[in-house]
Structure 1
Amino acid sequence: MTITPEKIAASNKVAVESLLNVSATALSSAERLAALNLNTARSLIEDSLANLKALAEAKDPQAFAALQGSFVQPGTEKLVAYYRGVYEIATQNQEEITKLLETQFAELNKNLNTALDDAAKSAPAGSDIAISAVKSALAAANSTYDSVSKAARQVVDIAEANVTTATNAAVKAVGSTAKAARKSA
């Protein structure tokens, strides 16, 4: 196996492209997170001003208390929506970077197998056992990586389902509490 300047240049080009792809993905996620934060802040200010105006126009203490209770549910829903947005951005970023890394990992495996095949062609007699052992170890490592990757995806899916269920339950509980508070006011 001969390492030529062209192979080194091609390898460097792939590494730089991979770094640029990861950087672009991270920057895109940062932009989306900044937009989410800006929109959430804008909405919070607008809602706060509207709520203050409504409270200032309340005619009696019961109306004031009822208004306060009516602000809880929408505020909670917006808070949950914000955290869902942050979670989605983070999850999408992680998925995109994972795909990029998996592509690089597959390319590395392909290159290693090609290098081993090239080495086998020019290796002295009897070295085929060592090359087979290295290929077997590489296959075992790939299998382990696949198993761990699948298990990690299952854990993420389960955690995501649990977070969604807990979030929905919390929103419903706050809604019920707010309704009960308005009725008693």
Structure 2
Amino acid sequence: MASKQDQFNELQKKNFEAAMRLAQLSIENSQRIMELQVATAKSLFEEGVENAKAQSAAKDPNELLNLRSQYAQSTAEKMLGCARELAELTTRAQTELGKLVGEQLSSGGKDVFEAMQKMFSGMPISDQNAMTAIQSAMDTTRAAFDQMTRASAEAFQTFTQQGGKGKK
């Protein structure tokens, strides 16, 4: 009985550690996004102040129109650059999350499978077909998750590549 409790405690410990890594990943990604947003806002503010000074010193309407046009173009480029960086951060975070969940599925599934084998081995009836079905279900789930992770990463990569073509 103590060994089953120890196995359960070990499984809980592994799940807790994975949850902590997930929380850390989330915090780090949120911090990167906030830093990007603050840097972009600061840059846009400083450029806006410089542009306002230049516009107040403009002598003729054409110069004023050119300054406004340049400011609008520069702002749009910075916002697109920020959007691209956000997409890249999201892609990286998704990849890291995919790896974490994949590891958890792989090791956690194996741990659960082993625990179930031990549980069934202690019972008077041991059905190998049931264990095979459970392992097959875990393998199918793992494969489906891997496929979704790859598809999502490819979609984000396509998005960021298309976004880069418009600027060139």
**TM-score, L = length of structure 2:** 0.82
Pick the aligned partner of 1:150 from 147, 154, 157. 147
Per-residue CA shift, 1:125-181, capped at 9, x if unaligned? Answer: 6x3xx3323323431442254145314522541353145314532x45xxxxxxxxx
C-alpha distance in 2 between matches for 1:155 and 1:90: 11
For 1:59, what is the secondary structure of its paired residue?
A: coil
- Partner residue, 1:74: 74
Evaluate the alpha carbon distance shift between residue 38 and residue 76 of structure 1 in structure 2; reply closer, same or farther with a 3 A threshold.
Answer: same
- Partner residue, 1:181: none
Per-residue CA shift, 1:1-28, capped at 9, x if unaligned? Answer: 8753322332232222122111111111
For 1:4, what is the secondary structure of its paired residue?
A: helix
Evaluate the alpha carbon distance shift between residue 3 and residue 131 of structure 1 in structure 2; reply closer, same or farther with a 3 A threshold.
Answer: farther
- Partner residue, 2:114: 114
- Is residue 2:133 matched to residue 1:139? no
Q: Tell me, which stretches of 5 or more residues in structure 2 are unaligned?
A: none
C-alpha distance in 2 between matches for 1:103 and 1:148: 11
Evaluate the alpha carbon distance shift between residue 17 and residue 35 of structure 1 in structure 2; reply closer, same or farther with a 3 A threshold.
Answer: same
Which stretch of the first structure deviates more once superposed, 49-58 or 89-98? 89-98
Native 8 Å contact 1:113 1:135 kept in 2: no
Native 8 Å contact 2:102 2:146 kept in 1: no
- Is residue 2:64 matched to residue 1:64? yes
- Is residue 2:7 matched to residue 1:7? yes
CA RMSD between the two structures: 2.6
Which stretch of the first structure deviates more once superposed, 44-53 or 110-119? 110-119
Evaluate the alpha carbon distance shift between residue 14 and residue 114 of structure 1 in structure 2; reply closer, same or farther with a 3 A threshold.
Answer: same
Q: Please tell me whether Structure 1 or Structure 2 has the larger radius of gyration of its CA atoms.
A: 1
Identity of aligned residues (%): 23
Structure with more relative contact order (C-alpha pairs < 8 Å, separation 6 or more): 1
C-alpha distance in 2 between matches for 1:123 and 1:94: 42
Evaluate the alpha carbon distance shift between residue 27 and residue 162 of structure 1 in structure 2; reply closer, same or farther with a 3 A threshold.
Answer: closer
- Partner residue, 1:177: none
For 2:59, what is the secondary structure of its paired residue?
A: coil
C-alpha distance in 1 between matches for 2:119 and 2:90: 43
- Partner residue, 1:23: 23
For 1:50, what is the secondary structure of its paired residue?
A: helix
Native 8 Å contact 2:29 2:89 kept in 1: yes
Per-residue CA shift, 1:60-87, capped at 9, x if unaligned? Answer: 1111112222223321110011112222
Which amino acid counterpart does residue 46 of structure 1 have in structure 2?
E
**Aligned counterparts, 1:97-112, within 5 A:** 97-112=97-112
C-alpha distance in 1 between matches for 2:27 and 2:157: 24
**TM-score, L = length of structure 1:** 0.75
Superposed structure 1 runs of 4+ greater than 6 Å apart: none
